[in-house]
Homo-oligomer: A and B are copies of this chain.
Amino acid sequence: MDERIHAHAETLVDWSARVDAGDDVVLSVGPEAHDLAVAVAEKLGERGATLLATYSSGEITRAHLRAHDGEFAEPAPRRAMYEAADVVLSIGGGRNTSATADVPSEARQAYAEAAEAAHEARMGTDWVSTVHPTRSLAQQAGMSFEAYRDFVYDAVLRDWEELAVEMDRMKRLLDDGQQVRVVNDGTDITMSVGGRTAVNSCASVAYDSHNLPSGEVFTAPYDVSGEVTFDVPMTVRGTPIRDVRLTFEDGECVAHEAAQGEAVIGEILDTDDGSRRLGELGIGMNRGIDRITDNILFDEKMGGTVHMALGRGYDANLPDGESGNDSSVHVDLITDMGEGSRLEVDGEVVQRDGYFRWE
């Protein structure tokens, strides 16, 4: 077994999930994630945790949802399992990232509603999501399997403690600041962040961070105005989108266009009251991620990118008792900070041409 698989498992169990003796761990395993699951099982044994492995397959989900009449009962065993768990580790990795492409959205929505309590119970655990490099993910990234594996481990096997220190600088700038301005090709947008608390998302539940890899600092902006162009190509709801351009006035998106996928962006904006507002401003700081691979788990953390999400904001960014932007959607869009770009906090340049001032 590739030694990096063991290192990945150790990072997941120790740094990310902080597993202790006696912890009850649910390990969700994708159909092609077996090798990482075995390495994680070994680490969980070493730590003295219990283990229940579940099988997460798009093909199984598709078969079940499509055959069902849509009147879903609550999946009681799933809820009970999560309620009894301390930690949920999800290892993605299948054979086809489009496996559920022909599941009608009504069926997805109806199932999600029936499984809401189970989902909440999972969110109440120390959960962490990661992926095992697979041929299917390599294909989505347009890369050979071998190169994609290197890419994943470069992103995952960071010196997370060191990165946490660097990201803390960014967090403090945002916490102490009132206004953020992002300038890039086709972008000049300002937003308020005063009173909000940035999250140092360094891939550990100890930092309220639930993705491995992570490497972003994010907060919940408001009073957004200006224009922004998201030049990083993505797949959103199964549709390729490219060069999305949004115009904000008084916090609300008042105009949108896109070189590709404009209809999907329109649908998202029309979802509800909160879907025209930003729920998140995120600063990518993981320099182990050196390219866009059409996978949000990686893309939004790439060093030298900035992302903004339409829709729901995170409670972790808000003062106790305050409610932020509410919406049923949360769609991240990314801009790559190139030559001539600037990220300013209260007029002070924090990042120029894609490089932080301390780099």
Q: Which of A60-68, A184-192, A256-264, A345-353 contacts B (4 or more CB under 8 A)?
A: A60-68
Contact of A75 among B38, B50, B76 (CB under 8 A): B50
User: What is the CB-to-nearest-CB distance from A116 to chain B, in angstroms, rounded to a whole number?
Assistant: 14
> C-beta contact mask, A226-243 vs B, less than 8 Å → 1, else 0?
000000000000000000
Partner among B37, B44, B80 whose Cβ is within 8 Å of the Cβ of A57: B37
Query: Does A297 sit within 8 A of B, measured CB to CB?
Result: no
A45-67 CB contact bits vs B (8 Å, 1 = yes)? 11010111111110111011111
Closest to A73 in B: B22
Q: CA–CA, A60 to B71, complex, Å?
A: 35
User: Closest chain B residue to A37 by CB distance?
Assistant: B60
- The complex places the Cα of A76 from the Cα of B82 at a distance, in Å, of 10
Residue of B nearest to A29 (CB): B55
Complex Cα gap A69–B45 (Å): 8
Q: Please, how many angstroms separate the alpha-carbon atoms of A53 and B38 in the complex?
A: 18
A65 / chain B contacts, CB cutoff of 8 Å: 45
Whether the Cβ atoms of A84 and B80 lie closer than 8 Å is yes
**B59–A24 CB distance below 8 A:** no
Report how far A78 CA is from B74 CA in the complex, Å: 18
The 0/1 profile, CB within 8 Å of B marked 1, for residues 85-99 of chain A is 100000000000000
Q: Does A172 contact B (CB under 8 A)?
A: no
Partner of A59, one of B38, B51, B60, B82: B38
> A83 interface residue, CB < 8 Å from B?
yes
A79 CB-CB contact with B under 8 Å: yes
Distance of A155 from chain B, by nearest CB (Å)? 25
Q: Could you tell me if A53 and B45 are in contact, using CB atoms closer than 8 angstroms? A: no
Supposing A34-B57, A53-B57 touch, asked if A77 and B85 sit within 8 A by C-beta, the answer is yes
- 7 A-B pairs with C-beta separation under 8 A: A43-B67, A46-B67, A50-B73, A50-B74, A51-B60, A54-B55, A80-B81
